[in-house]
Structure 1
Amino acid sequence: MKKLPIFKALEHDRWVKPFLRQYKKSLIIAIFLGIMTYVAGAGLMFTSGYLISKAATKPENILLIYVPIVLTRAFGIARPTFRYLERLVSHNWVLKMTSKLRQRLYDSLEQDAVFFNSKYQLGDILGLLSDDVSHIQNLYLRSIFPMLVSWGLYTIIVVGLGVLSPIMGLWMLLVFGLIIFAIPIWSVLVNGARQVYRKQLQDQLYVDLTDNVMGVADWVLSGRSNEYLKLHVASQNKLLDVHLQMAKFERMRDFCLQILYLLGIVSLIVWGAATFGGHPSQMTNWIAAFTLAAFPVVDALAQLPGAAQETNVYQDSLVRLNDLPVPTKEEAKKVAIEAPYDLTLTNVHYTYPNTSREILRGLNLQIHAGEKLAILGKSGSGKSTLATLIRGDRKPNSGSIELNGVATSEFGDQITNYIGVINQTPYLFNTSIANNLRLGNEEATDEQLWDVLERVGLANMVKKLPNQLETMVQEAGLRFSGGERHRLALARILLKDAPIILLDEPTVGLDPITEQAVINTIMTQLKDKTLIWITHHLQGIDLMDQVIFIEDGELNMQGSPAELWKNEERYRQLKKADQGL
């Protein structure tokens, strides 16, 4: 028998089955509470139906009324209680599972984080982070959990009725089996394929629309605007046809479900009346009881076909996640080096994976402790690649980059103790100023925070804010200007107190006045540090001890600003052009 796609994806799964085993106790408790919620609901409706019909007749004994009243109250209290407990347990289970899923995803991606540009498109990364984990979470919540609860109810119904009447038990085994198994599988096989096709059409429509809108001027100039509209309308019509086919199938499927529900309810009515109805006056009591008791069970089963159909969407996410590398947890060796800290680059060659172009070719460089080095070059020359190699994020294909004789790639997370980074777009998280600053030093006191804010020239500004250090910076730090964000990033670096600071075009996008102010602040506050300044122009270049130009992966010019001005005509031209002379 051909396996359903979701079961194929689960055969070698590392993302769903492990967490089912890891949190099986919480899952079992949540399923039990979920089943009991519907059992209490069915009991409430059963006793209510019996009580209403019995109260309309003269009871032979007051207990025939009193007992249903007590049971109705008991089931009425039990149902929300079980529901509340089930939500507590299931949400706790889901939150623990989701946190582990995200941690595992980040661990998997972190291994190739520095290769994103070469291995993944940005959309793939965003898809992994925003959609796939949510899909796996929905696979638990909307498919696995309801399925297991339904199976539990199915077992209780069949076994319970089978004890009272084997024939009725077998009949319910068939009727509810069609609802729980046959209809969902039918939905997966028929509408699931259409769902996959619809997703393909939507993706293609998005790509075509994006490409055509970007090139709309060419369509108009070439006189083919009507052709573009026809292509777009044709694609939309295909998508609409799939929507209509899916809606038509869902109506037919829901009709079949209603027929099966009706068949099950009528069967219960007839069987209940025949089994428990001693005479016609008592028959109505059991008709109401069994009819109403069936509706909570129907509610539990009604969501299964739609949930089963969606497993095709989850399947894509499951396959993509399982294609990620298995995260490895290698304990980094403790690196112990002492000041002064010298960086040595020896015959460094680097080529990105799956490419043939060599980014760096035979680079040799010595950076002494306390030295100020500027690295210049046009876009694509290898400046940023050199920065990632210096940080140890990448390993050179040949040659070495060493800090006091130890390859920077061997430091692991310890590299942050020696090399701090200020990027061209410092990121601030949507939390307080204090929390953003403490990324540099989690143990920093408020006094230390105010000290670094004073050093970077932001103390007076922060004191005027409504909540001062506890003021929220808004998403991506939008509360602050570009210059202020760079100063806050510098404050984090000062808290970290790393001996080597790598500045990766930290003043890009700033106006000349703000740029110069930021440069002056950086140079003043980091005067005792080793600075490696990656830039594309020569603002503040005279403050450097050494300047190198990288072109086509090689050192093209090297020397102090004064030496280059004296000996290199090209440097003089670049300096004049940068100053607008």
Structure 2
Amino acid sequence: MLRDVLRILGLWRGHAGWLAAGVLVAVLSALAGLALLVLAARVIAGAVAAGHADAALLAGLGVAALVWLRPVMLFRPLARYVERLVTHEATFRALAGMRVWFFRRLAERLPTGLGLRRAGDLLGRLVSDVEALDGLYLRVIVPGAAALAVVLAMALLVGAAEPGLAAILALPLAAALALPVLLAPAAARAGEGVARAQGALRSAVVEPLTGIEDTLAANAEGRAAARVAAEGAALAAAQQRLARRGAWGGAAGALLTQAALLGALAWALAAAEHAVASALLAVFLAVAAAESLGLMPRAGASLAAAAAGARRLFEAADTPAPVPEPAEPAAPPTGHALRLDGVTFAWAPDRPPVFEGLDLEVPAGARVALLGPSGAGKSTLAALLLKFAAPQAGTITLGGVDLARIPSAELRRRVAWLTQDARLFDDSIAANLRLAAPEATEADLWRALDRARIGDLVRALPEGLETPCGEAGSRFSGGQARRLALARTLLSPAPVLILDEPAAGLDADTERAFLETLDEATQGRTVILILHRLLGVERPTRILRLIGGRAIPATG
């Protein structure tokens, strides 16, 4: 648990200024509250000083306390307000950075799968597990630092005059301060149970809704609802276990702070006349400590929840990348010819190989049609060429440079892929197109749309390039969505295009028209056209069939 928490803090280094500022303001706010009660104790001590040998001194202290009381009273709420602003700003910045870090780690690892195939589980890690980390800062670090400052200040204030009284106050309060760390290991197990149950519940809700047509067609909505109810009950039980531990911690903390107060009261009742001021001060300080330390035991549950969320995040983020980046990158290739020599590849050691000794050469500017049935390895070849996977044997080169020595970002500037299920996102047409070229001008966008033969349709839309595409491109028909996806691919400056079943899901006439568009739109680039069959409109310079893990020239 500690290792995960320390790693989170390491990832937050870029926001150290904001985080430290939040802790500092929280400490000042807590000390201001302590100062208020110290001044109040001085005032009361001065008021009851009549007949005491040191009456004049105590009365003078009371007058001085009254002078300082008003500015401290004004500073205290201001400090609390600034504390809320700064600590929450620090938290939002840290969590936003955490999400970006996690997204990037996932993006490097998802092409070959993380074992997170349940959408709810992945969503839970990206949202809820990251959000759980706010408790690490807002409910553990910030209040912990403030409480520590209060305990130390109390020990110094009282200890200078009455060391024994300082011990009576400090010992139970120090124990309350240590409770979160003592309770966290047991609470961590309950926190992990809550995190797992949340992921299971999200999966139970998201999966049947994602495939709602199939769910309804199979009359499975009742079973889906029963599963949601079962997972909801499991989550409630896990949350109850975690809350129970937090409640026990809160009760223990309250007892310890009350023990400090009772000890201070006992000392005050037994105090000699000369110790009246110290006794009153101790009582007021014990009251002040209750505010700062009362919530600390519950911080153990927050620490446990944050540690559980961190562990789930790191479990996914630390999955080995399918293709590691080269330690010593090669110079960017100057040519764009592709060559595969003796490539052997299997998706897993216990699965049969997709390729065994595959040899393939695609000269720069060539137009190769790669045919084969489903499962022949056509899309696997595209994944290898994009470095979403790496061969177990053999080499793949681009422009004579081994792909293993080319950084992924550099390679993907030279090789673009139109996938079988190219997705349009729920954003404008312009935003979807600019995924391939963020700096593209409107003229560039229209040029790509026209080359994909979809420009006239977009011009006829009232909002033009700003037209929302809808979720998964629902605003457009299948053929229109494929042309928009093609326009996005054409917008890329990559000299090598891999078009993976580019007309998938289209009817025969739309498919033929779309493939005719490809011939014109991809002129001047190297094209690998992955198809089940040829219609006669593709005009490849070379036709190969993938059979038994090898590329064989097509005949007839």
The letter of the residue matching 1:154 is V
1:67 to 1:195, Cα distance in 2 relative to 1, 3 A: closer
1:27 to 1:519, Cα distance in 2 relative to 1, 3 A: same
1:461 to 1:235, Cα distance in 2 relative to 1, 3 A: closer
Paired residues of 1:50 and 1:288 also in contact (CA < 8 A) = no
TM-score, normalised to structure 2's length?
0.75
Paired residues of 2:135 and 2:302 also in contact (CA < 8 A) = no
The structural deviation recorded for 1:45 is 6.5
Structure 2 Cα separation of the partners of residues 329 and 149 of structure 1: 46
1:208 to 1:500, Cα distance in 2 relative to 1, 3 A: closer
Q: 466-475 vs 482-491, which deviates more?
A: 466-475
1:174 to 1:469, Cα distance in 2 relative to 1, 3 A: same
Paired position in structure 2 for 1:389: 384
1:404 to 1:190, Cα distance in 2 relative to 1, 3 A: closer
* Structure 2 residue corresponding to 1:530, chosen from 526, 529, 539: 526
The structural deviation recorded for 1:109 is 5.0
* Structure 1 residue corresponding to 2:485, chosen from 480, 484, 489: 489
Structure 2 Cα separation of the partners of residues 350 and 154 of structure 1: 63
Paired residues of 1:175 and 1:260 also in contact (CA < 8 A) = yes
Q: Aligned to 1:550, what secondary structure does the other structure show?
A: strand
* Structure 2 residue corresponding to 1:433, chosen from 429, 433, 436: 429
Paired position in structure 2 for 1:576: none
* Structure 2 residue corresponding to 1:87, chosen from 85, 88, 107: 85
Structure 2 Cα separation of the partners of residues 138 and 329 of structure 1: 38
Paired position in structure 2 for 1:296: 291
The structural deviation recorded for 1:333 is 2.5
Paired position in structure 2 for 1:313: 308
1:334-345 → structure 2 map (5 Å cutoff): 334-338=331-335, 341-345=336-340
Structure 1 Cα separation of the partners of residues 445 and 280 of structure 2: 75
Paired residues of 1:387 and 1:502 also in contact (CA < 8 A) = yes
TM-score, normalised to structure 1's length?
0.72
* Structure 2 residue corresponding to 1:18, chosen from 1, 10, 18: 10
1:170-569 → structure 2 map (5 Å cutoff): 170-181=167-178, 183-185=179-181, 187-196=183-192, 250-268=246-264, 293-298=288-293, 301=296, 303-310=298-305, 313-314=308-309, 316-317=311-312, 320=315, 323-325=318-320, 330=327, 332-338=329-335, 341-412=336-407, 413-463=409-459, 465=461, 467-474=463-470, 476-539=472-535, 543-555=539-551, 558-559=553-554, 564=555, 567=556
Q: Aligned to 2:136, what secondary structure does the other structure show?
A: helix
The structural deviation recorded for 1:75 is 3.3
Unaligned runs of at least 5 residues, structure 2: 48-55, 212-225
Paired residues of 2:27 and 2:146 also in contact (CA < 8 A) = yes
Q: Aligned to 1:386, what secondary structure does the other structure show?
A: helix
The letter of the residue matching 1:373 is V
Structure 2 Cα separation of the partners of residues 43 and 473 of structure 1: 60
The letter of the residue matching 2:347 is Y
Answer yes or no: is 1:32 the counterpart of 2:24.
Answer: yes
Task: Give the % identical residues.
Answer: 24
Unaligned runs of at least 5 residues, structure 1: 1-5, 215-228, 568-581
The letter of the residue matching 1:305 is G
Structure 1 Cα separation of the partners of residues 204 and 491 of structure 2: 49
The letter of the residue matching 1:79 is P
Paired residues of 2:419 and 2:502 also in contact (CA < 8 A) = yes
Paired residues of 2:479 and 2:506 also in contact (CA < 8 A) = yes
Structure 1 Cα separation of the partners of residues 300 and 396 of structure 2: 58
Q: Aligned to 1:358, what secondary structure does the other structure show?
A: coil
Structure 2 Cα separation of the partners of residues 138 and 40 of structure 1: 24
1:434-481 Cα shifts (integer Å, max 9, x gaps): 333233333322222233233334444444556543455455544444
The letter of the residue matching 1:503 is L
The structural deviation recorded for 1:423 is 1.3
Structure 1 Cα separation of the partners of residues 302 and 497 of structure 2: 53
Structure 2 Cα separation of the partners of residues 497 and 240 of structure 1: 52
The letter of the residue matching 1:306 is A
Paired position in structure 1 for 2:165: 168
Structure 1 Cα separation of the partners of residues 469 and 486 of structure 2: 16
Paired residues of 1:426 and 1:489 also in contact (CA < 8 A) = yes
Structure 1 Cα separation of the partners of residues 62 and 356 of structure 2: 94
* Structure 1 residue corresponding to 2:73, chosen from 72, 75, 78: 75
1:518 to 1:349, Cα distance in 2 relative to 1, 3 A: same
Alignment RMSD: 5.0
Structure 1 Cα separation of the partners of residues 229 and 430 of structure 2: 53
1:321 to 1:401, Cα distance in 2 relative to 1, 3 A: closer
1:38-57 → structure 2 map (5 Å cutoff): 38-44=30-36
Q: 251-260 vs 27-36, which deviates more?
A: 251-260
Structure 2 Cα separation of the partners of residues 67 and 482 of structure 1: 78
1:249 to 1:468, Cα distance in 2 relative to 1, 3 A: same
The letter of the residue matching 1:171 is I
Q: Aligned to 1:548, what secondary structure does the other structure show?
A: strand
Paired residues of 1:184 and 1:309 also in contact (CA < 8 A) = no
The structural deviation recorded for 1:248 is 5.3
The structural deviation recorded for 1:173 is 1.7
Structure 1 Cα separation of the partners of residues 128 and 286 of structure 2: 42
Paired position in structure 2 for 1:223: none
Q: 516-525 vs 237-246, which deviates more?
A: 237-246
Structure 2 Cα separation of the partners of residues 204 and 469 of structure 1: 40
The structural deviation recorded for 1:382 is 0.9
Structure 2 Cα separation of the partners of residues 324 and 276 of structure 1: 67
1:371 to 1:140, Cα distance in 2 relative to 1, 3 A: same
The letter of the residue matching 1:501 is L
The letter of the residue matching 1:167 is G
Q: Aligned to 1:39, what secondary structure does the other structure show?
A: helix
The letter of the residue matching 1:426 is A
The structural deviation recorded for 1:49 is 9.3
Count of matched residue positions in the alignment of Structure 1 and Structure 2: 531
Q: Aligned to 2:528, what secondary structure does the other structure show?
A: strand
Q: Aligned to 1:122, what secondary structure does the other structure show?
A: coil
Structure 2 Cα separation of the partners of residues 309 and 52 of structure 1: 43
Paired residues of 2:245 and 2:301 also in contact (CA < 8 A) = no
